[in-house]
Amino acid sequence: MAASSMQIGKRIALTSILVSALLAVGKIVVGSLASSTSVVADGLESAGDVIASGFVLLGFIIAARPASKKHPYGHGRYETLTGLFVGIILFLGGIGICYRSLQHVGSIHSKPAAYGLIPLLISLIAKAVLSIVKFRFGRRIHSASIIADAWNDFADIISAGAAMAALGLTLWDPGRFLAADHYGGVAVGLIVVFIGIRVAKDTSSRLADAMPGPDLLDQIRQVALSVPGTTGVEKLFARNTGLQYHVDLHLEVDPEMTVRQAHDIAHEVRFAIRRQLNWVADVLVHVEPAPGPPAFQPKQ
């Protein structure tokens, strides 16, 4: 599962780099020709997307390395780390866009050209498709960096809409709303800043060993309890190591059974979880005596 997930992640990242690069060039060139601050600001945000997706691709390349003596859990967290970089890039890029947009907010200049709306509309459609694809596959393969990049594209959708609204106001009544184009650039920047904070928070949580959601833990518990000989799960912990999780499980068994019998049950639980839940990399099972009367009768 991990190898195929890595390939999916790499293909998505490469596609995102290409699309974002084309959109960035188009918006910056057309925005400059049309004298639209908000279009240029949105183009700069797309240029940041190229860097962000480049980090995502790099993360998948490093994460694909096999486990080693120094990294017994593999290199998967490099993929998560790149998601944090995406959040930082969004945050810093948003601040830069705000600053640039406010530089000439009070200046008098000719109104922007209407064709500046064209690259914004194209960007909105393209980023909507990319965002849907990334959210879908990011959640399927449990990729923090792909999901972070999906939020990045979602920011582009909102920013393109804000830029279109600002430019539209300026075109509608340049006498009253000439500065709206500049404030549209500021709105784009603020949106990017707040989404950057959210992405950084989510990925930092994974890096800090936050537990997965209760639905995933319930799946592990149900598989463990389905193995004959188990009587309960006392403790269950899971940590994210990139695209998969490593699980620590305290399994309750009949206290009267032999060590070999308990070991065989623990062994079967480990492999049942890995076999049925492809998002689990490995399981460490610790056997505990079950409280109460024995539920297992050892062979005579």
Name the 3-class secondary structure at 293.
coil
Burial class (CB within 10 angstroms; exposed 0-12, middle 13-18, buried 19+) of 221: middle
| Interval 270-285: pLDDT, tens | 999 999 998 888 899 9
Name the residue among 278, 224, 273 with its Cα closest to residue 250. 224
Helix axes 37-63, 180-207, angle to 10 degrees: 20
Sequence-separated (6 or more) residues with CB below 8 Å from residue 168? 117
pLDDT in tens, 61-110: 887 787 788 888 878 788 788 888 888 888 887 887 787 777 666 555 56
* pLDDT for position 218: 92
For 146-193, write each residue's pLDDT tens digit: 888 888 888 778 777 877 777 777 777 766 666 666 677 777 778 778
What pLDDT is recorded for position 269? 94
Distance in angstroms (rounded) separating the CA atoms of residues 100 and 105: 9
In which region does residue 284 sit, left (phi positive, over 0), alpha (psi from -120 to 50) or beta (all else)?
Answer: beta
Token pair 């537990």 is found at 211
Options 3.40.190.10, 3.30.70.20, 3.40.50.150, 1.20.1510.10; CATH for 2-207 is 1.20.1510.10
Q: Is 148 exposed, middle or buried (0-12, 13-18, 19+ CB in 10 A)?
A: buried
pLDDT at position 109 is 52
pLDDT-based confidence at residue 296 (cuts at 50, 70, 90): very low
Cα–Cα distance measured from residue 78 to residue 120, given in angstroms and rounded to the nearest whole number:
33
Establish whether domains 2-207 and 214-289 are of one fold.
no
Q: Tell me which of 3.90.190.10, 3.30.390.50, 3.30.70.1350, 3.90.1300.10 is the CATH number of domain 214-289.
A: 3.30.70.1350
Q: Where are the domains of the chain?
A: 2-207, 214-289
* Residue that wins the pLDDT comparison between 41 and 275: 275
Q: Is residue 74 classed as helix, strand or coil in its secondary structure?
A: coil
